[in-house]
Copies of this chain bind each other. A is one copy, B any other.
Amino acid sequence: MMSINHDPETFVYPADMNEGQEALALWLRRLELRSPLTNFDRETVLSFPGTLRRYASSRDIVRLGERTQQSCLVVDGIVARFGQTSEGHRQLTAFYIPGDMADLHSAVLPVVTAPLQSAMTATVYFVPHDVIRRAGERSATLARAFWRDCVVDAQVASEWLLNVGRRGALARVAHLLCELSCRHFAVGLTRYEFPLNLTQTHIGEALGLTGVHVNRMMRALRSQSLVQTEGNMLKILDWAGLASVGDFDPGYLHMKREVDD
């Protein structure tokens, strides 16, 4: 009973596997970074039940118009949220890396207006909405942490809007790389060297650019010795330089604990 799914490229695992718990721990770390939680809250989150599932490249995880019953916690790989025009042009509106609850918002607004797909390969831990809601009702601090997590997600989208609307192609690419770097760091992963599990087309779709043009911009960044690529690993050689080119200020990510009033 390795698979309960007909798609040969996705597999469902029993819920007792470790990966889900590890991702919950990453997520918890992020929640705590933004608001203090009680021990009770921590235990509640860490014991969230769920289902683990793996996806091959570019698979639908949540479809447009669906009414979801669960939220997606990214365990491995990258999950992308996107919209598309009637002509079929896609715009990715968010990337979710391990430790991100990609559609926590669906706990409160289950109708899907922006679908989710795996970028390259991805593993997702599905947590039922019931569980999330009940946790929020029992603990006001947790409810607030969830709400806040959604707010931060929204602020990231705003920053993307600024990026796409007002910066040149080179800055856009640099900005995205800086953001991913910081977000990896925020969940305890390596900061200056991480797997860029995205095709250049994905990056283009996120930035309002063509994959072709992303390629040229990457070349420019490499030729300026700002970054280096080996396979899908990205190395940031000159953080300050990259941040400068990308006009990057990490404030919008709210990665530092802020004192509550």
**Sample of 4 more A-B contacts, CB < 8 Å, known A85-B247, A157-B161:** A34-B109, A109-B155, A114-B158, A153-B154
Across the interface, which residues of B come within 8 angstroms of A252, CB to CB?
113-114
The residue on B at minimum CB distance from A171 is B85
The residue on B at minimum CB distance from A138 is B140
The residue on B at minimum CB distance from A248 is B86
Describe A's contact surface by its main secondary structure.
helix
Measured in the bound complex, the distance between the Cα atoms of B91 and A171 in whole Å is 15
Q: List chain A positions with a Cβ less than 8 A from chain B.
A: 34, 67, 69, 81, 83-87, 89-91, 93-94, 105, 108-111, 113-114, 129, 136-137, 140, 143-144, 146-148, 150-155, 157-162, 164-167, 171, 207-208, 247, 251-252, 254, 258, 261
- Chain copies in the assembly? 2
Across the interface, which residues of B come within 8 angstroms of A147, CB to CB?
108, 143, 146-147, 150
Question: B164–A83 contact, CB under 8 A?
Answer: no
Given contacts A137-B140, A261-B67, A261-B69, contact A84 B162 (CB under 8 A): yes
Measured in the bound complex, the distance between the Cα atoms of B105 and A148 in whole Å is 8
Please give the distance in Å from A65's CB to the nearest CB on chain B: 8
**What 10 pairs between A and B have smallest CB-CB spacing?**
A165-B208, A154-B154, A83-B162, A91-B162, A93-B158, A91-B165, A105-B151, A89-B166, A147-B147, A157-B157
Of A147, A208, A247, most buried by chain B (CB within 10 Å of CB) is A147
Given contacts A69-B261, A150-B154, contact A165 B167 (CB under 8 A): no
Question: B261–A162 contact, CB under 8 A?
Answer: no
Across the interface, which residues of B come within 8 angstroms of A151, CB to CB?
105, 108-109, 150, 154
Of A85, A90, A252, A258, most buried by chain B (CB within 10 Å of CB) is A85
Please give the distance in Å from A116's CB to the nearest CB on chain B: 12
Across the interface, which residues of B come within 8 angstroms of A111, CB to CB?
254, 258
Measured in the bound complex, the distance between the Cα atoms of B109 and A129 in whole Å is 23
Question: A105–B154 contact, CB under 8 A?
Answer: yes
Question: A207–B114 contact, CB under 8 A?
Answer: no
Given contacts A108-B151, A247-B86, contact A161 B113 (CB under 8 A): no
Of A34, A94, A166, A167, most buried by chain B (CB within 10 Å of CB) is A166
The residue on B at minimum CB distance from A110 is B261
Measured in the bound complex, the distance between the Cα atoms of B93 and A148 in whole Å is 19
Question: A81–B158 contact, CB under 8 A?
Answer: yes
Measured in the bound complex, the distance between the Cα atoms of B246 and A85 in whole Å is 10
